[in-house]
Amino acid sequence: MIWSSEDVARDAVRRQGEGMPVVRVAEAVAQAAVRERATAEELRSPGPVERGLVASDPEELAEMWAARHAEWRRVHALMAASGWAAYEPERDSAGSAWAAERAARREQALAAHSARLERRREAADEVRAEVWVSAGPGRLLRQAASRAGLTPQEVLAQLAGRVVVGEDGVVSVEPFMPSR
C-alpha cells in the first residue's frame, strides 16, 4: 500500500506532535517552512542535485516537506483556535478521521494481499492441461458428454478427478458414469 505525501505527513505530525506545547508546534511550523523552501530551491536549481547521505527523489522530498509544513500549520491553527496548551491527537477530529481512513485502507490492502496469496497457493496446486484426443476416442468422449449433458472438458475433468496412481506408477481410472 502506498501512502500519499499528505498521508505520511499527517501520520508523522500526529506521532511527533503528541503532547507538544503550542510553542514547540510553532517551531516545527518554522522548521518545516525552512525545509520546504530549501527542497523547493534545490529542485529548481539548474545544476545536479546533491544527494547527501540519504539518496532520495528531490521531487518526492520537496513534496513531503510541503505536506509536512501544511500539516504543522493546520495543527498550529487548530491549537490556537481551540486554546489547547498541548497537542492531543485524539482530540483532533480531522486528524483522527484521516488516521482512521488510513487504517481502513491499510486493512483493505492487507486483506486484498492475503486473498491474492491464497489464490496463488490454490493455483499452484492446480494443473491445467490441453489434451488432444484422436478422432475415435474424441467421438466417444463427445457422445458420453452429450448423454450426461456435459461438455467434453467437464467429462475429462471428472475423469482426472478419479485418477488413481498405483505403487508401481500405473495410472488408472475405475469405470464411472459422468454426471452433473
178 belongs to a structural domain: no
Domain identity same for 104 and 165: no
pLDDT score of 45: 76
- What is the per-residue pLDDT across 81-135, written as a single tens digit (0 to 9) for each? 999 999 999 999 999 999 999 999 999 999 999 999 998 888 877 777 888 889 9
Per DSSP, the three-state class of 56 is: coil
Domain identity same for 86 and 17: yes
Burial of 84 (C-beta count, 10 Å sphere; 0-12/13-18/19+): middle
CA distances from 7 to 1, 65, 103, 179 (A): 12, 12, 11, 56
Domain identity same for 116 and 157: no
Per DSSP, the three-state class of 90 is: helix
Cα–Cα dist 131/146, whole Å: 18
* Domain region containing 46: 5-125
**What's the domain count of the chain?**
2
pLDDT score of 59: 87
Statement: residue 53 has pLDDT above 80: no
- What is the per-residue pLDDT across 19-38, written as a single tens digit (0 to 9) for each? 999 999 999 999 999 999 99
Mean pLDDT lowest among 56-60, 108-112, 140-144: 56-60
